[in-house]
Amino acid sequence: MAGGRLTVVGTGFLVAGQATPEATACMRAADRLLFLVAEPATRLWLQGEFPRAQSMADSFWEGRPRLEAYEEVVGRILAPLREGMNVCAAFYGHPGVFVHSSHEAVRRACAEGFAAEMLPGVSAEDCLFADLGVDPALHGCQSFEASSFLLRRRKVDPSVALVLWQIGALGVSTYSTRTLWNRDGLDLLVEALLEVYPAEHEAVVYEATLLPVCEPLIQRVPVARIAETKVSTYSTLYVPPAWRAALDEAMLARLGLAAAPDAASPGEAER
């Protein structure tokens, strides 16, 4: 095993409040702390709490291909590791959810013989479940990146909740400082959803709050009007089930169960 060590951590979304004790301890113990976060308050907290912390935000600029920027971030993380340092890379939210550079840095570090690991953090989806009062185990949950959802014509089960990530960046491969990267893409998304859901079915355009004094952005809107709402690159779309799936009578019998009218299946019972 080579001398350096890499730990990738998440800061969550609330300033300091959702960084786990484990992640904070790793940031404090690091020889080199590099970070990429969503807003100035978390940056100020990191630089105040860890004076040697260095932002990687300057790897991104208007019009730069995102994969090119991600590759630069990977290189910046690996450089001090190859010098034998204990490196910690901190990303906002969960470090492994929609973060290409974190997974690639860990993969390459391990391939080069370094000790490397990723610690769990609080993702936007975790915040969504809490803020909307949604239990993903009740009816199930299907989750897709929004561009992939359209480009790969994903098959959707309307009896299961649907989560679509990055609906404000549909089909865009370059970085931008604009709040919304592709409004026209929202029209295409609505068109695809209307193939599955009734026009009046209520969905939620959601953004986790970044500051303790602010509320999350929760916009309840019919599927047909999603493109008319306030959407940014931080927005996640939640579409609840349109109806409950029927129980399989044959499987009920094989399991020795009896179904009451409109009853939840045994696995759907709340803890």
Please identify every residue annotated as catalytic.
66, 70, 92
DSSP string, 65-96: BHHHHHHHHHHHHHHHHHTT-EEEEEESB-TT
Contact 109, 81 (CB under 8 A): yes
Cβ–Cβ < 8 Å for 9, 97: no
Q: How far apart are the first and last CA of the chain?
A: 44
CB 167 within 8 A of CB 54: no
CB 11 within 8 A of CB 4: no
Angstrom distance (rounded) from CA 195 to CA 38: 34
Going from the C-alpha of 185 to that of each of 105, 174, 195, the distances in angstroms are 31, 15, 16
**Burial environment of residue 146 by CB neighbours within 10 A (0 to 12, 13 to 18, 19 or more):** buried
Distance separating alpha carbons of residues 225 and 5, to the nearest angstrom: 49
Per the structure block, which two tokens stand in for 221?
């809107």
